[in-house]
Structure 1
Amino acid sequence: MCAKVLVAEDDPRQAEVVRRYLLAEGHDPVVVHDGRAALETARRISPDLIVLDVMMPELDGLHVCRTLRAESDVLVLMLTAKRTEEDLLLGLELGADDYLVKPYSPRELMARIRTLLRRRPVVKDALDVREVGGVSVDQTSHRVTVDGSPIECTRGEFAILAAMSGQPERVFSRAQLLHHTRGIDRSSTERTIDMHVMNLRRKIGSERLVTVYGIGYKLVAGA
């Protein structure tokens, strides 16, 4: 699967390593070294995926991610030297699809990229609209409405809602929901799923997204 990949990394050596690995796998990489260039280039070339360093000059990666997520659904894999759970969750809240902590193995990075690119068509090619008690999930346009009003969802939130709306009343464990989201480090996955569910409850109504204690979550029609 050939993809256009934008690499936004302020370390020229590291950026070149990533570029060579991407070329070796048949992708079309474009490299920039600061946040402003990342934003401008992403708007110009419409990449399939962005490898986005958090700490960059001009604009940091978090600002770039926040801006791009408001404009498109491009895949974003963030790179950071920060290791705290708060940093990871902030990146995911802003709409990042995956998060890799430095130093990392280029082989692991490529595995993450392959995972993200494989899962992208599942959402884009599904041609059905699922409705559960006033919640409508359009998988073709990546659009969610609640009682006719559109709501904004991150990619992770949408993936969870799309999976659950396909089988309403079914209880999904955190591990099962993780399968429908992204390839994130297992040390943080359960907490990440909980955060997505908490945000979805606020957006669609807590009566629709129910906790089944000791097992997981299920989507119901609501009151």
Structure 2
Amino acid sequence: MTTVLLVDDDMNILNLVELYLLEEGFHVFKALDGGQALSLLKKHPFDIAVVDVMMPFLDGFELTKEIRQKYDIPIILLTAKDQLHDKEKGFSSGTDDYLVKPFEPKELIFRMKALLRRYARSDDEQSIIQIGQTFIDKRSYEVKTNNRTILLPLKEFDLLYFFMSHPRQVFSREQLIEAVWGIDFEGDERTVDVHVKRLRERFTPLTDDFQIRTVRGIGYSLEVHTE
């Protein structure tokens, strides 16, 4: 049975969404704020978290960061704000998906099931990938290069993992967004450029095992310098 952590300071929304989730066979734990959510996370294993943005004590963005640092579960943020910078902030905090209120509970369930399928596939992927003296571990979210551990924000890690999983292949920005951010991402394609720039700034001084190469007119490719 899939166990859901449902976090919202509006009890009416909690109860309504819980009814739909129970009908779909989910096991639901409810929390009214981020503090309660963190307490539940320490006591119970969860398969997915659905988190409201506007909450007292610890908002959804900060709670998402806390969850992402310690638990490898998909996260959906719920918000009444439909502004692009709010969505960007949500994805930067580590959320996998973003749903604007008011929403249809059935749409939330569709998105939850899609994320759970995506995470199930990722569990089947090769956990550790090595290129030269650089290692990336999907399970621990660690990157090591020349015996030095590098801690990356979630989307930088996911982007690097995707590149290292497909060396020498050329991908367009659109393909990278779909693979790393998901097909529902509504941000600008320049998000890819920003994340590639950050990865280059981090790794170029540390290793010559690989380089993220710009393919003019197409996108990017991971060029491998070692065999």
Structures share fold, TM-score greater than 0.5? yes
The DSSP-based 3-state class of the residue aligned with 1:172 is: strand
Q: Structure 1 residue 205: deviation in Å?
A: 3.2
- CA distance in structure 2 between the partners assigned to 1:182 and 1:20 by the alignment: 29
- CA distance in structure 2 between the partners assigned to 1:218 and 1:161 by the alignment: 11
Q: Given the superposition, is the C-alpha separation of residues 211 and 21 from structure 1 closer, same or farther in structure 2, using an over 3 Å criterion?
A: farther
Q: Given the superposition, is the C-alpha separation of residues 3 and 93 from structure 1 closer, same or farther in structure 2, using an over 3 Å criterion?
A: same
Using the size of structure 2 for normalisation, the TM-score is 0.85
Q: Deviations over 1:35-77 (max 9, x none)?
A: 2111211222131111000101222112212222222223221
Using the size of structure 1 for normalisation, the TM-score is 0.86
- CA distance in structure 1 between the partners assigned to 2:162 and 2:5 by the alignment: 29
Structure 1 residue 96 corresponds to structure 2 residue 95: yes
Q: Given the superposition, is the C-alpha separation of residues 25 and 88 from structure 1 closer, same or farther in structure 2, using an over 3 Å criterion?
A: same
Contact 2:172 2:219 in 1 (8 A): yes
Contact 1:127 1:140 in 2 (8 A): no
Partner of 2:155: 156
Structure 1 residue 213 corresponds to structure 2 residue 216: yes
* Equivalent residue letter for 1:215: I
Partner of 1:49: 48
* Equivalent residue letter for 2:184: D
Q: Structure 1 residue 184: deviation in Å?
A: 5.3
The share of aligned pairs that are identical, in percent, is: 37
- Bigger shift: 44-53 or 179-188? 179-188
Contact 1:123 1:140 in 2 (8 A): no
Q: Which stretches of structure 1, 4 residues or longer, exceed 4 Å deviation after superposition?
A: none
Q: Given the superposition, is the C-alpha separation of residues 147 and 100 from structure 1 closer, same or farther in structure 2, using an over 3 Å criterion?
A: farther
Q: Structure 1 residue 128: deviation in Å?
A: 4.8
1:105-144 paired onto structure 2 within 5 Å: 105-144=104-143
RMSD across aligned C-alpha pairs, in angstroms?
2.4
Contact 2:177 2:185 in 1 (8 A): no
